[in-house]
A and B are shown apart, each in its own frame.
Chain A
Amino acid sequence: MEKVKIGVYVCHCGTNIAGTVDVEEVAKYAETLPYVVVARHYPYTCSDPGQELIKKDIKELGVNRIVVASCSPRLHEKTFQGVLREAGLNPYLFQMANIREQCSWLHEPGPELTEKAKRMVGAAVNRVARHVPLEIRAVPIFPATLVVGGGIAGMQAALEIANSNHMVYIVEREPSIGGHMAQFDKTFPTLDCAACILTPRMTEVSRHPFIRILTYSEVVAISGYVGNFKVKIRRKPRYVDEGKCIGCLVCQEKCPWTALSEFNAGTGKRKAIYTPFAQAVPNIPVIDTEHCAYFLKGKCRACEKFCDANAINFEQSELVFELEVGNIIMATGFDTFEASSVPQYGYGRYPNVFTSIEFERLCSPTGPTEGHIILADGRQPESVAIVHCVGSRDKNYNEYCSRVCCMHALKYSHLIKEKTNAEIYQMYIDMRCFGKGYEEFYNRISNEGVNFIRGKVAKVTDEAIAEEEKGKLIVLVEDTLLGTMLRVPVDMVILCIALEPRKDANEVAQLFHIGRSADGFFLERHPKLDPVATMSEGILIAGCCQGPKDIPDSVAQASAAAARALAMIARGKIEVAAVTASIDETKCSGCRICNLLCPYDAIFFDEETKVSRINEVLCQGCGVCAAACPSGAITHNYFTADEIEAEIEGVLA
């Protein structure tokens, strides 16, 4: 084996590091360490001249191991590994010492910072001396993409990819694609009708030769890795033969059984055999077995009798099948905040307290009132209070701002003014109208005559203390600009409820091996520079599953996720790091603990030899098995015990 020659490069990162760490002293110290043949400090090591410096040393001094002491490996490990590769070295003969995030940015300035930086460099030097070249494999990318969720974000991503003639599967758990946007009446700030812009999209998706829509279906298992995912889909039985159904919906008309309509947010009824809304895609109904008399009591079958196409099939069973895809785009959307968890606002207790999504349906011509804004008793409201930040910006519920509520609250003012003569009160904490055309919209709605009251509502009550309050809902709030308590009697209260992570976000995150941020939404790889990727290669996120956002932002993020997937498809293959684990079969006791822990199903038990084996193609090098193995039989080739001990010794030196 050739002699180990280490080059150390201490980065100033402008003043980020050099401002508090004596980089010259760190470099001088590094020069005294074993195997180090050169140690330099440089203002921006990641810059072209910085990279050239490393290349030159590799060529001229025969340096064959590199340590860069700079920022986080998340930021520049790939950059410097590229330098090694270009200079003809194996990129794994490299180690980074993060003296910025873990040192100069972390502590109060003082001489200890330089001391800490020295030890971190010492650890990296000690470790890199023991690195061995690792093999890099090129794996072909499967060109199809899976989009999970058929809302506006999912449809956008699917169309972007499919338009380049690559196959896309959309998996949607509801009977129709469309998502939340299909429930909205109008969209801010342009006030164009949501259905008018959404349904052409839905049709385009359904007719696209490169898109296959799988509604009423869910992902139940996933294996493989970037470029080569195997996804197991469970298709729930519709009890309607999709090949035969012609979408006449006579069955829906004739069905005598009803349930609360999910699409109408519980404000109206639907049948037991139903499509969620008139423009549903596909236009094929499903039977809700929890409300169908045939499934409950064994009698009825009215739908079957009236179906001329003979499409009703009570014997249909669920279908489980597998898809192979190279990339997965998560577009699973959001759930709305449960308004009754703020008992003082009276939701569920007073019939004229509505949530925002209920109000959307009330406004919609396809909703339960055919677009008439009416109270529970059928009267038109003479006054309406719109309460902002219900479940948002509140440590007791969700600390974050839901971003869309100020705008839809303004939209509601307009819709109410358009259809009634009601007086409108908006109770807000701060008006956040940040998007393109949003402030102008605020201006327009103000001009239409809306009362803005700055204060968070304390209570909604029906206890009248004055004649004019009788029969009304009274909204108690401090007008913080006047500095006085107000009692505002109104006929209707609309609660602008928070956008929340899906109830099953945790299970879904575990299924797809992606993380969640503190707010519960899916975690992006980098909040600014990589908001569409996740920490799992090949799994991308778009829309409200990553955090509350409006339609333009959802669509933009979906297009970005699609571009990322397309880039991968265009490359055709991906280099997979040879960072894997291996099992020393002579030490393995066959306990199978690793089999169960492996998140990639890469470990299997060999019944003949009674030991576990690792499939290196599937192994992602996460290291869980190596950490858990009670016999110490598993070695991770980039985190060997020898390397870790060397690193610790370097710190303690």
Chain B
Amino acid sequence: MEVLSPYKEAADVILEAGGEPLKLCYQCGLCTGICPWNMVRSFLVRRIMHEAQLGATNFGSEDVWTCVTCRACVQRCPRGVEIIDVMRAVRRAVASLGLGIVPDALRISAKNIAGVGNPLGEAPEKRNDWAKDLKVKNFASGTEILYFPCCVPSYDADVKTVARSSVTIFNKLKINYGLIGTEVKCCGESIRKAGHEDTFQSLAKNNINLFASNGVKTVVAASPHCYHTFKNEYPELGGKFEVIHITQYLASLIEQGKLKLSKEVNKKVIYSDPCYLGRHNSVYDEPRKVLQSIPGLELLEFPDAREEGLCCGGGGGRIWMDTPKGERFSDIRVEQAAAKGADVIALACPYCFLNYRDSVLSMGKAETMQVRDVGELVAEAMSI
């Protein structure tokens, strides 16, 4: 039988890396019961908390990298433990102190982000190429809104449509907006959750300075991940500007009567709440309001929607890591959507977009199930 001793030094490393909240944990196991991983494989969140309390963490275990930071456990934890902070602290201990091994896929993404400012390893000067033919202005003095499309739509050929549909809407409505130059870098939300604190700090400082020197006051973000870190993490580092998620912005344009949707989109659409818009920031109604404003569109709901919404599997850096077939949450979601009779899954997050696209393709459902961004559906309803 293996005998462990509490190892104070390891416990202290985790505490210093931001694991402070774990002191409150009383080991009830509710987190394990709620964690979506346990639908597809065993992942004992409670055990990770206890190991961290005693300094008995196995830093070499793949469990260190499993958490998708969806916040389902934090939302229900009876002691209010910020479990994601503990997971992040354990990862920091591995990434910065070399107490374990960072998985290859994550290491490459981290290297890309640190080197060229985006996880895909693409050239920084190509960042705004997706908008080349769309007459998009650069942010200048007098520009009201900065549109921040996230690295994935900026570079990924399939996800470009997310950003392109949004700026098409803006152009049509003559919104005073612009893109910031190619010096901008990844927002850093996910790489921070994956334990790379130093990288995050340098990305955030770069972006904060860039926004400040350009006089940015309002940012409309395509991704809930960018939205989350701009809104909740950048202010501590001095980044003070208003942040709006694209679905909130579209909802406000509809409410003000500036955006009118006339063309019918006769589809059964099911909306999947992104974790970082929903549970992390309590934005549930605006995306639904936008979809309900589209004539002809029938809005369906997943059996577990809103606060109970299932993660796509892409948070916490998991978007860069491979999840074996049979363990993909987005596959479960596609099945659920089909069972509800939907023909479109509407999304509001580029990570969700990537995962759902892969699921639909790998499950051979591309013919019957579309994966669309909320903005794309709006553009369609505007006949553009």
Separation of A455 and B4 alpha carbons in the complex (Å): 23
**Contact, CB under 8 Å: B46 / A393:** no
Separation of A457 and B30 alpha carbons in the complex (Å): 6
Q: How far is the CB of B77 from the nearest CB of chain A, in Å?
A: 8
Is A394's CB within 8 Å of the partner chain B? yes
Q: List 15 A-B contacts (CB under 8 A).
A: A344-B76, A429-B28, A454-B29, A455-B28, A455-B29, A455-B32, A456-B28, A456-B30, A456-B78, A457-B33, A477-B29, A477-B33, A478-B32, A478-B46, A483-B44
Separation of A77 and B315 alpha carbons in the complex (Å): 60
A interface residue numbers (CB < 8 A to B): 344, 389, 393-396, 429-430, 454-459, 476-480, 483-485
**Residue of A whose beta carbon sits closest to that of B75:** A396
**Residue of B whose beta carbon sits closest to that of A388:** B28
Q: Known contacts A458-B34, A485-B42: does B76 contact A480 (CB below 8 Å)?
A: no
**Residue of A whose beta carbon sits closest to that of B44:** A483
Please give, as numbers and ranges, the residues of chain B lying within 8 Å of A479 by CB-CB distance: 29
**Residue of B whose beta carbon sits closest to that of A485:** B38
1/0 per residue, CB under 8 A from A, across B44-66: the answer is 10110000000000000000000
Additional 15 contacts, C-beta under 8 A, given A480-B46, A483-B47: A389-B78, A396-B76, A429-B26, A455-B28, A455-B32, A455-B33, A456-B30, A457-B30, A457-B33, A477-B29, A478-B32, A478-B46, A480-B28, A484-B42, A485-B42
Is B103's CB within 8 Å of the partner chain A? no
B interface residues, how many (CB within 8 angstroms): 19
Q: How far is the CB of B130 from the nearest CB of chain A, in Å?
A: 42
Separation of A457 and B46 alpha carbons in the complex (Å): 13
Please give, as numbers and ranges, the residues of chain B lying within 8 Å of A458 by CB-CB distance: 30, 32-34, 76
**Residue of A whose beta carbon sits closest to that of B45:** A478
B interface residue numbers (CB < 8 A to A): 26-30, 32-34, 38, 42, 44, 46-47, 76-80, 308
Q: How far is the CB of B15 from the nearest CB of chain A, in Å?
A: 21
Q: How far is the CB of B50 from the nearest CB of chain A, in Å?
A: 9
Secondary structure call for the A interface: loop
Q: Known contacts A478-B46, A480-B46, A485-B38: does B79 contact A395 (CB below 8 Å)?
A: yes
The one of A389, A430, A480 in contact with B29, judged by C-beta atoms closer than 8 angstroms, is: A480
Separation of A344 and B77 alpha carbons in the complex (Å): 13
Please give, as numbers and ranges, the residues of chain A lying within 8 Å of B38 by CB-CB distance: 485
The 10 tightest CB contacts between A and B, nearest first, are: A458-B33, A478-B29, A394-B78, A456-B28, A478-B32, A455-B29, A456-B30, A480-B29, A395-B80, A429-B28
A393, A456, A483: residue with the most chain B Cβ atoms closer than 10 Å: A456
Separation of A483 and B27 alpha carbons in the complex (Å): 11
Separation of A149 and B30 alpha carbons in the complex (Å): 38
Please give, as numbers and ranges, the residues of chain A lying within 8 Å of B28 by CB-CB distance: 389, 429, 455-456, 480
The one of B29, B33, B42 in contact with A459, judged by C-beta atoms closer than 8 angstroms, is: B33
Separation of A456 and B77 alpha carbons in the complex (Å): 10
Separation of A483 and B38 alpha carbons in the complex (Å): 12
**Residue of B whose beta carbon sits closest to that of A486:** B33
Separation of A457 and B76 alpha carbons in the complex (Å): 11
**Residue of A whose beta carbon sits closest to that of B307:** A343
Please give, as numbers and ranges, the residues of chain B lying within 8 Å of A395 by CB-CB distance: 77-80
Separation of A395 and B76 alpha carbons in the complex (Å): 9
Please give, as numbers and ranges, the residues of chain A lying within 8 Å of B46 by CB-CB distance: 478, 480
